[in-house]
A and B are shown apart, each in its own frame.
Chain A
Amino acid sequence: MSSPVLLAELRSSAPRRTWTRWRRLCQALVALFYLLLPWLNSLGFRPLAGTLASLKIGSFDLTEPAAGLAAALAGGRVSAVLLLGVAPVVGLALLAGPVFCSWVCPWGLLSEGVDRLRQRLRPRPWREREWVRLRTGRWTILAGVLLLGVLVAMPVAAVISAPRLITSLPLEVVYLGILSPVTGGLLLALLALEVFGPRRLWCRALCPVGALANLLRIPTTLAVRFAPERCLCPRLPLCHIHCPWGIDPRHAGRYDGCSNCLACVDGCPSGALTVGLGSPVGRR
């Protein structure tokens, strides 16, 4: 299926960057929005307010589902406002997959940046079938965090959520004039994990937001489809090398952590990977 000549040819062909360009634009706009929002709020602008844990758009709410679930469990009470706020975000996840992680979350952008820098200094390619080791770990950790939240009556999943922390930082700086030791301390710990820990461990396995978003996949969710007959790549293919989540999209199952960032579709030189709604071809 692969000869050294063909492989060299594949590697020399410049990868397309179509999806990744749009994704970077989307991530940058979200980051800019949450950077400027507190400042607008402090000038008296009220229709939009909040962080990635929950955003107020007029009288309409967008609440992050893991935070909502954690609050409902830890507080022992589900309010209508919580359900209404979570519904559109859950709907998006059911339709488009965990795009929150790859297209929205500013921590994801930072984590990918740190990872790229680390790869430039000391390359450490993904191991073969690396995602398999995280499969059960992700759900166990999510369940553990939610259970811990019930035990200490505090929504732990919301407190340690990286998107919440990084979007709270500008809010607290604008409103308090200082870095909050709680938010700042937790973010420093996360940053240390990104810099010194295994590649992108937080986003791939530990973050409750991503773990729950991954569980929300259904058969009709937007997914990367694989046409095996078109694939020309060797055992460690370009899509796996390019994947910021360490997944080989040719073999990963529905709940294996793919966040529809589409870097693999960009990286595939043979057109074997496409993206589409409905059940993926050639996958479990």
Chain B
Amino acid sequence: MVRFSRFAWLRARLVAPPLRPPGARPEREFTGLCIRCGRCAAVCPYRSLVPAGWEYGRHAGTPVVLPRSVPCYLCMECPPVCPSGALDPITDKRAVRMGLAEVNPNTCYAFLGILCRTCVDECPLGEAALIQDGQLRPVVLPGCVGCGVCEKVCPTLEPAIVVRAARGACGRE
């Protein structure tokens, strides 16, 4: 059963930090450095990066990843094109720290005894980030970079695996 909260959208956008493109500097620094030039969005072949709206306050106009519409496929095209240093020019996708996936055991099919390994199959980092335990349940490992592909492919109505963008630091530094 999915529980809807009237303020869920507000909490998601104001309280939880937005998911940033790969290589993003710590959140406060990122918002200061990002000149909203749109170059990262222009080179993204999947159109994963969208400019944040007014509801993001002072983050408005900065690039965010909304994994439920289009996750980041870690092609690593955007970090080198940032002109202001808001994105570190990393090219190794394992060095990305966008966030960390979190499994909800109450809704995940595998936890409910239904055979499902969609997220494990689709994870771009494979065994380094997401594996199955002895009971075939998904387990997130520290290698997870938070790209959001699992959240996109999760077959439950409200995704049972969700990426939490880490507060303050880009990822979990």
Contacts and interface: CB of A to CB of B under 8 A. Distances in A.
Given A75-B84, A172-B51, A181-B53, A50 B35 contact: no
A34 to B, nearest CB: 11
Given A49-B43, A172-B38, A56 B54 contact: no
A68 B54 contact: no
Question: What secondary structure prevails in chain A residues at the interface with B?
Answer: helix
Nearest to B27: A153
B94 interface: no
Interface string A230-246: 00000000000000000
A164 B36 CA distance: 8
A141 interface: no
Contacts of B33: 71, 74-75, 77, 155
A140 interface: no
Interface residues of A, number: 46
B57 to A, nearest CB: 9
B60 A175 contact: no
A85 B33 CA distance: 14
Contacts, number: 137
Nearest to B83: A54
B39 interface: yes
Contacts of A71: 32-35, 84-86
A74 B32 contact: yes
Given A53-B37, A181-B53, A85 B32 contact: no
A158 B59 CA distance: 13
A67 B39 CA distance: 14
Nearest to A79: B85
Given A155-B33, A180-B53, 17 more contacts: A51-B37, A51-B39, A53-B37, A67-B37, A68-B83, A71-B35, A71-B86, A74-B32, A75-B33, A75-B86, A76-B32, A77-B25, A81-B85, A153-B32, A168-B51, A182-B61, A185-B54
Interface of A: 37-38, 41, 44, 46, 49-51, 53-54, 56, 61, 63-64, 67-68, 70-71, 73-79, 81-82, 85, 149, 152-155, 158-159, 164, 168, 171-172, 175-176, 180-183, 185
19 contacts: A44-B45, A46-B77, A49-B43, A51-B38, A67-B35, A70-B35, A75-B29, A75-B84, A77-B29, A81-B82, A81-B83, A154-B31, A155-B32, A155-B33, A168-B37, A175-B50, A180-B61, A182-B51, A182-B61
Top 3 closest pairs, chain A to chain B, by CB: A79-B85, A75-B33, A75-B32
